[in-house]
Structure 1
Amino acid sequence: MAEIKDPENTIRMETTKGSVVIELFPGVAPAHVARIKELAREGFYDGVVFHRVIDGFMAQTGDPTGTGMGGSEKPDLKAEFSNLSHVRGTCSMARSQNPNSANSQFFICFEESPWLNRQYSIWGQVIEGMENIDKIKRGEPVQDPDKIISMRVVADAA
């Protein structure tokens, strides 16, 4: 079991493949962390599928339409690029060509992806359950995709 240092900045995501714990980085991407927590608290991610899953690269989710074209009704976020690296378990925001277009979609890296560094806003790191992310069905789009059952801020479950 991973040690949860700050329940207010930790997410527990239940997926169809098992539980995943994500440590949030409010000091690195405060607006993105605030958005992830806000959407999690609203139940926005519950039932959302992993619509784009590329072997050896990443699993993407966070689109309520399941198409890769949707997002929340909240305004897009300004980029919060950092010097952190995209490594195995990195949680980072998906976006369009516009760097300031992140909204609700995010991805989790299966392995190191250095070409993403300083191009996407990193907001967290998987600290437990990466083996469950590894089990998510692959595809673009995924046939009969795995999904997020629930995604909650750990502090709220106490």
Structure 2
Amino acid sequence: MSETAVPDGNKLVFELKNGKVVIELRPDLAPLAVERLKLLASEGFYDGVKFHRVIEGFMAQGGDPTGTGTSGSSYPDLKAEFTDKVKFERGTLGMARTMAPHSANSQFFIMFQDVPSLNGQYTIAGKVVEGMEYVDQIKRGTGSSGVVKDPDTIVKAYVEA
């Protein structure tokens, strides 16, 4: 693992071009995913990373350093932390993965609206508690793939108490 200390706070902040998004992390639901998000933010991993896949009425996905949706951090993939305690609703931050349940790494998505079909299928790591209007302004992709031309980026990411 890294020499970087994982911050104590449970608020992940994404500074976007239009404003600040604050996500209340949920270590009670997904301790491994929350630790990874905090570690990567503290290392500057998310600074400048693109929202490469954004689907109107669904979600905005980011967290891939290559901006293609095919990569992650140098850390090992995470064990799935699925829950039935909370639902995928507007503002939920989930961990993106491949078809393999234990493949989440650095990519995440933020929901634009409730999508019950995701419940219990993906790890929920937090929820937007401030700045959802800025998430709503993230540039949308085209077609069912949601690939974005000239995508918006995370200007800076950090953890606060």
TM above 0.5, yes or no, is yes
For each residue in 1:66-120, what CA deviation from the matched residue of structure 2 results, as whole angstroms up to 9, or x when unmatched? 0000100100000000111000000000000000000000000000010000000
1:117 and 2:111 matched: no
2:42 pairs with 1:41: yes
Kindly provide the amino acid, as one letter, of the partner of residue 135 in structure 1. Q
1:87 corresponding residue in structure 2: 89
State the one-letter code of the partner of 1:72: S
* 1:145 aligned onto 2:146: no
4+ residue segments displaced more than 3 Å: none
Q: Distance in 2 between matches of 1:90 and 1:154?
A: 19
SS in 2 for 1:127: strand
What is the correspondence of 1:43-58 to structure 2 with a 5 Å cutoff? 43-58=44-59
- Percent identity, please: 60
**Cα RMSD (Å):** 0.9
| Aligned residues between the structures | 149
Cα distance in 2 between the residues matched to 1:153 and 1:93: 17
Structure 2 alignment gaps of length 5 or more: 1-7
Structure ranking higher in helix proportion: 1
CA distance in 1, matches of 2:159, 2:137: 23
Question: How far is the alpha carbon of 1:141 from its aligned partner?
Answer: 1.5
Q: Return the TM-score normalized by structure 1.
A: 0.92
Matched letter for residue 60 of structure 1: Q
**Match of residue 100 from structure 2:** 98
